[in-house]
Amino acid sequence: MRSNLLSMQLFRLLCGLLEEKTGVNYHASGIETFSAKVYARLEVAGFDAPLDYYYFLRYDAASTDEFDALVDELVVNESYFFREVDQLKSLRDDVVLPLVERGERPRIWCAAASTGEEPLSIAMLLADAGVLSHVDIVASDISRKALARARSGEYNIFSLRACPLDMQQRYIDVTAGRIVVAPEIRAKVEWHRHNLLDASAIASFGTFDGILCRNVLIYFNDATVRRVVGTLSGALRTGGRLFVGATESLFRFGILMRAEEKNGAFSYLRAHE
């Protein structure tokens, strides 16, 4: 039986390609899982040898679909409703509500939204505050598979582990063994496929009052974090806020945005043009 463990050299070649295109940095400690996923994909794609598969991905213009399928297998899509909820409440109270009170129409973007629990949680909080119809919510991710799940609005029980019961009762149907988000909540989120490294595509996306980019920067190296945060700050309107994950402090990057703690949640304010 052949071994399905990549050589360190092939592991580095494939990781280099993936990091170049997606920013995601894979550690050698994960070589076994990484190898198993690569072998599963290369067999489906009809290759015998991982080096041929690498050449195909690297040099063949027809490899885009296969590359996307490999990314789908390798990215970590972990998410759940009301994750790090203090930030979601700060987005509502410190970004959305003041703008709505001034008669403006806030735009919110969940970058790297995975299977959609994050933008849908925001929509539920805004529906509860009676302002959902005054806000535009855009959500994006690089993974086609995650977006397909997000668009379906259907989840498993683990997604509900931090979901307050009242929110669940109001906006999530858990009858008949299926967990489905209410259509009026789902209809408020506009889903897009976007790579955070693609600055020009993001520029065409318009500007936002609040951007969430949580639990994805941890997979990037420092140079990529700087690059992505630069792109995101360019997509923020003056007075807009960027929210990153609790373990993803941007302090050491010396960024131009101002870090603020409001109601127990950190965010980065774009104070000037």
Ligand X SMILES: C[S@@+](CC[C@H](N)C(=O)[O-])C[C@H]1O[C@@H](n2cnc3c(N)ncnc32)[C@H](O)[C@@H]1O
Find the binding residues for ligand X in span 94-123 (CB under 6 A).
112-114, 118
Asked if residue 124 binds ligand X (CB under 6 A), the reply is: no
Closest approach of Cβ 141 to ligand X, in Å?
5
Closest approach of Cβ 175 to ligand X, in Å?
25
> Cα–Cα distance between 62 and 64 in angstroms, integer?
6
The sign of the torsion formed by the CA atoms of 243, 244, 245, 247 equals negative
The residue within the footprint of ligand X, chosen from 138, 142, 181, 211 (CB under 6 A), is 142
**Helix residue ranges, H only, the chain:** 8-22, 31-44, 50-59, 64-74, 85-90, 97-101, 117-128, 144-152, 165-171, 183-186, 199-203, 222-234
The residue within the footprint of ligand X, chosen from 52, 78, 101, 190 (CB under 6 A), is 78
> Cα–Cα distance between 134 and 39 in angstroms, integer?
48
Closest approach of Cβ 20 to ligand X, in Å?
11
Q: Which residues touch 81 (CB under 8 Å, ≥6 apart)?
A: 117, 120, 121, 124, 155, 159, 160, 162, 163, 167, 172
The structure tokens 């529906």 sit at: 127
**Segment interacting with ligand X (CB under 6 A) among 21-29, 101-109, 177-185, 199-207:** 21-29
Closest approach of Cβ 34 to ligand X, in Å?
15
Secondary structure (3-state) at 77: coil
The residue within the footprint of ligand X, chosen from 42, 99, 135, 197 (CB under 6 A), is 197
For residue 155, the surrounding DSSP H or E stretch is strand 154-155
- Closest CB to ligand X among residues 18, 31: 18
Closest approach of Cβ 136 to ligand X, in Å?
18
Closest approach of Cβ 47 to ligand X, in Å?
24
Name which of 143, 216, 152, 206 is nearest 183 in CA terms.
152
The residue within the footprint of ligand X, chosen from 28, 76, 148, 259 (CB under 6 A), is 76
Write out the residues near ligand X by the rule CB under 6 A: 22-24, 75-79, 83, 112-114, 118, 141-143, 146, 194-197, 214-216
